[in-house]
Structures are given as C-alpha cells and as structure tokens.
Structure 1
Amino acid sequence: MLLHGLEGSSHAHYMGGIADKAFATGWNVVRLNQRNCGGTEQLSRGLYHSGLTDDPLFVIRELVARDGIRDVALAGYSLGGNLALKLAGDLGESASRECLRAVCAVSPTMDLALCVDALERRSNVVYQWNFVRNLKGRMRRKAAAFPGDFSLEPLGRIWSVRAFDEAYTAPYHGFRDAADYYHRASALRVIHGIQVPTLILAAEDDPFVPIAPFRRAEVTGNPNITVVATTHGGHCGYLEHAADGYDGYWAEREIVRFISTQRP
C-alpha cells in the first residue's frame, strides 16, 4: 500500500513509479488517496492530516477481510512516510495481527514541528507557497462540495502551512492548536513502538525534513528500524543515472528490494 505526501495523490509520479516496480515484482498494489486528494473532495465530508492512521488501517483490514490478503507492506513518502511510521508505532506488537509485515518511509516528516520550522526558512519560500496555494484551493473546492461546512473567511490570512493548520487542521480534528497537532501526529512520538521491519530513507540535503530526528536514540536504538541517511537526495528525490533498464529512481528500487527480503 502506497501513501503520498502533502497535497499529493495516487497520481503523483513517485506513486506510479513505485507501483510499477512493485507490480512487476508480482505484488498487488494499492495507491491510497488521502481524504480529498486526487479530486475526491466530494467523497468525504472530512479532512485529512499527517497522523490520520485510521484510514490506511481501515483499508488494510478491508483487504484482509474481503480479498484474503495476508501480508501487507506500507510505503509512504513525506507526510505519507510519517503516516506509515506512526501506524506501525501505534500498532506495536499487534501489527502482525493486522497482517502488517514491513514499512518503508521516504523523507518522512516524522517530527512535524521541526519540519514546519524548516519550511518557514526564506530558502524554502517556493515550497511553502506551493503547499499553501494547493491547500487553499482544496478548501475552496471542499466548501463548494459541502456548503456551510467550512468557512473560507480565514483564507485571506493564511500564508503558511502553520497558519493553515491553526485555522483548519487543528480545530477540525480536535487538537488544541497547531503545536498540539504537530506533537500528537508526529511518528517520532511512537517510533520506539515499531515491531515490524522498517526502512527509512533520509537525505542530509533535504530542504525541509532535517536529518537530526533520524539520529535520535529512539530511532537508532530500535532494532527493527534501518535508517539509510544519504548525503544527497533532496526531498523524495534520490535520482541516479539511468542505465541498463534501470530508470534511476533509487528510492523506488530500494523499497522493492527491502520489502522483497521481508516476504515470508
């Protein structure tokens, strides 16, 4: 099961790339849209957030109950990586009962507060602007789909992801404020509980996912977690020279390799 990043969708390039590689290996593949992503605003009255693990867990249970799937691996990018890690941490020893066998996270935003701080650097203004533009557009479409459910009045005051979370994400989901949301939704808070083989790919030159959390004791001290920290790779990039049938998307290749070694 593949989980995309903030304001991404099942149609994102990396979702298609890893899906193709996994399918070619002989696996069933599910590309999961977060609520309202991929043009699905009208399908759910709710909003998604970085720690909403109920949705992927529901889909896993549906696959097990209705399709007879007995082995599930999660692979998430950015926000989706945080979501995958948090779900595994929340489940702890019960992960095996839910048929979750492995987790991979690429550039996961597992310390949300730190990532939002980094996103607010002047050097990241383009990233911030792009996220905010997309979030605002989504709220306008959401309000049109469900008149009266969401006020658009705050949009004129929102120029950062943090401001969006203060105005919409936190109050809608019952968090006290954005800081409370970042704390409770961060996978880092529960990562010590992960009991399934887990691969984390992180880059030292990621512009808004700092490398420091991946070196913390609760991560490095968990024998179930393998962290590969690269000098280069950016945010969910990891491009190499393509050659001999290899398209150069290193992270996608490593995910397939890792999960292949965990199959029963």
Structure 2
Amino acid sequence: MYERGSHGRVIDSDFEPHPLLRGAHAQTIVPTLLRPPPDLALRRERLELPDGDFVDLAWAGPERGPRLAVLVHGLTGGFQSKYLRGTARELIARDWRVVILQLRGGGDEPNRHPRCYHHGDTADLRYLWRLLRQREPGVRLAAAGWSLGANVLLKALGEEGDAAPVEAAAAGCAPFRLEICAEKLRSGSARLYQARLLRDLKAIVARKHAAVPAPVDMAAVQGARDFFEFDDRYTAPLNGFRDARDYYARCESAGFVGAIRRPTLIVNARDDPFMTPDVLPAAESLSPSVTLEVSRRGGHVGFIAPGRRGLPFFWLERRLAAYLDGSVAG
C-alpha cells in the first residue's frame, strides 16, 4: 500500500539533441523520412479474439527466454514502425524476446468488425497480456508504447492496477490530454502533421469500409478537416462515445496514470509539436510507481542524439530498453 500523499516523480532528462538537429521539426521529421527501417526478422502470428475479430502479432528475438516485452505502435503505425523496430533491436541485444501487437485494424488486411483501434481501446492489449501469462506461466512480461500506443499502454496499466500482468513498462511521447493535443494539431505548423496523419487515416478507413462497411457517413469522414471532425464522424460513433470531446475525456491517459501499480517510465519532450507542455501531468497526479522524464528538446518520437564521431543515434530507443532491462532482471 502507498502512503497517503505519496506520488510519482517528474525529472529532467539528460537528453541532448544532435547539434545539426536541434529543432523540434528536424527531430520529428528526419527519423520518419530519412532513417532506413531497422532490420528485424519477424515471425507472424494471427491471434483470434474472444469477440470473433483478430489482431496480428510479430515476434522477434530468440524463440525462448524468460523475458518478453510487448510493444505497441502509434497512430497509423505497425510492424514497420522504425522507432518500434529500433527498440526491439535494443531489447534483443539485451537478451529479451519481443512481440509487437499490431492494433485491431492496423494492418494491411482489414479486421472483421466495423470498429478499429483508438486511444482508449485497451481490451486487446490486456487480453494479450493474460494470454501470454497462460501460455508461459513463468514468463516475465514488460511493455512499451509510443504516442497513441503510449496512451493505450498507460490507460491499460491504470485500469489493471494491482492486477497488471506486466512487471514494468516504458512509454514515449504520451499525449496525456487528448483534447489539448487535438487543438494543437489544428494550429500553426502542426497542421502539416495533422494533414499527413489524416491522409493516412482516411486511406485506412476507406480500405476498411470497402471490405467491412461501417454505419457512418463515409463521405463526411473523408471530408474531415481536423481530428475533431474525424473523431466526431468516425471514432466516436463506432465506439460508443457521444462525440470527439467525450472520446478524448474518457480515453486520455492523464486520468489513469495515478492508478498505475507497476514501475513505469514515461519520456516526453517539451517541444513535441503534437502537443503543448500543458499536457504534462504534475508529480502529484502520478502514482508512486511512475517516473515522468521530461527533456527540453526531442520532438515527437525523435530524440536523435550525437553518438560516436558525431554520428546520430536514437536515444529514446536505448533509454526505454535500458529502463525495462534494469527493471526486470534476467
């Protein structure tokens, strides 16, 4: 039991950006556009779900071993997400196995039911955790997530509380307050990121709707100009929310980080162009199990630092992997 008044920590990060990539936009864009995909041999598995739908998994690293990390991608991400594959490589180098959860509807093949994944859709992740425990009773589980995947992970941990099947977790660029993030993305230069994300989302839902029609006005969905309109017209009606703001309020991880009962590291940058520093929770709202590490720079899932001979390396991937490795002994 925690003592009354105890809470988590908010600490300053020691991350220093590469001198040629100090700005938030450079940190955010360069990994997406210029980084080659990290090599990672994957073993695919289709996981049938209790409601008749499915998700796809991808395994990497040794086929056997005591430590297993479940990795959760961000919005429009999947098995090819570079930050996820890079972190998987860091973990495998530390003698971990990894399994990537491709969230429901996130792959090339549409899922069977009309609904797809969203910021609050934690049921599949929680089901996977318990299934892995059943398959391997002695396995030592950890989890990591980025952006939307960070929100899903933190919400799931808060919902599970003391019953969480994982021993430790790590998250990058968590969008703690979803409405604030949606507001940020429809202003200034952030609109460019919103346009790219909406373009990809609309392509996903169009492909999905062609195979599994959803009870929504697809023309209105395709005409959405920002995330408020997209979530009002698509995410909310398909998932039982009144509207976009109801969805944001009920699913944002800020409401769940106080209930987390497993050692958890969250790393965010103050200059993240997908959000404002206002989204970052105070220590008093974090559970004693949670450490929020905040850097001045880093962008959104960027964190490119100078390595040997000035060559860039992806600091966040190493930081999250090292935290999990230190929290779950081999």
Q: Would the TM-score normalized by the shorter structure come out above 0.5? A: yes
Please give the root-mean-square deviation of Cα atoms over the aligned residues, in Å: 2.0
Q: Note the alpha carbon deviations across 1:184-231, whole angstroms, 9 max, x for none.
A: 111111211011111010101101222233242444x53211111111
Identify the match of residue 320 of structure 2 among 255, 258, 263: 255
Displacement of 1:93 in angstroms is: 1.4
Displacement of 1:43 in angstroms is: 5.0
Identify the match of residue 203 of structure 1 among 257, 260, 269: 269
* 1:19-98 paired onto structure 2 within 5 Å: 19-42=88-111, 44-68=113-137, 70-95=139-164, 98=165
Q: Note the alpha carbon deviations across 1:42-78, whole angstroms, 9 max, x for none.
A: 4554311101110111111111112345321111110
Instruction: Tell me which protein shows more strand as a share of its residues.
Output: 2
Aligned length: 260
Q: Note the alpha carbon deviations across 1:24-57, whole angstroms, 9 max, x for none.
A: 2111101111111131314554311101110111
Aligned equivalents of 1:115 and 1:148: distance in 2? 26
Aligned equivalents of 1:263 and 1:42: distance in 2? 34
* 1:90-169 paired onto structure 2 within 5 Å: 90-95=159-164, 98=165, 100-147=166-213, 151-169=217-235
Aligned equivalents of 1:61 and 1:247: distance in 2? 38
For residue 149 of structure 2, what is the amino acid of its counterpart? G
With over 3 angstroms needed to count, the CA separation of the structure-2 counterparts of 1:247 and 1:19, relative to structure 1, is farther
With over 3 angstroms needed to count, the CA separation of the structure-2 counterparts of 1:69 and 1:136, relative to structure 1, is farther
Instruction: Tell me which protein shows more helix as a share of its residues.
Output: 1
With over 3 angstroms needed to count, the CA separation of the structure-2 counterparts of 1:145 and 1:164, relative to structure 1, is same
Check if 1:194 corresponds to 2:267. no
Check if 1:233 corresponds to 2:302. no
With over 3 angstroms needed to count, the CA separation of the structure-2 counterparts of 1:178 and 1:147, relative to structure 1, is closer
Q: Note the alpha carbon deviations across 1:82-126, whole angstroms, 9 max, x for none.
A: 11111111111112xx2x111111001121111111111121111
Aligned partner of 2:240 in structure 1 is: 174
Tell me the secondary structure at the aligned position of residue 153 of structure 1.
helix
Aligned equivalents of 2:247 and 2:122: distance in 1? 14
Displacement of 1:150 in angstroms is: 5.2
Tell me the secondary structure at the aligned position of residue 110 of structure 1.
coil
Aligned equivalents of 1:211 and 1:102: distance in 2? 25
- Identity, % of aligned positions: 34
Residue 106 of structure 1 contacts residue 251 of structure 1 at CA under 8 Å; is this kept in 2? yes
Aligned equivalents of 2:112 and 2:137: distance in 1? 26
Gap runs ≥5 in structure 2: 1-69
Aligned equivalents of 2:246 and 2:326: distance in 1? 38
Displacement of 1:151 in angstroms is: 4.2
Identify the match of residue 222 of structure 1 among 275, 287, 311: 287
Tell me the secondary structure at the aligned position of residue 85 of structure 1.
helix
Aligned equivalents of 1:143 and 1:247: distance in 2? 41
Aligned equivalents of 1:208 and 1:63: distance in 2? 33
For residue 91 of structure 2, what is the amino acid of its counterpart? A
Aligned equivalents of 1:10 and 1:44: distance in 2? 21
TM-score relative to the length of structure 1? 0.92
Residue 89 of structure 1 contacts residue 194 of structure 1 at CA under 8 Å; is this kept in 2? yes
Aligned partner of 2:45 in structure 1 is: none
Gap runs ≥5 in structure 1: none
TM-score relative to the length of structure 2? 0.74
Aligned equivalents of 1:38 and 1:17: distance in 2? 19
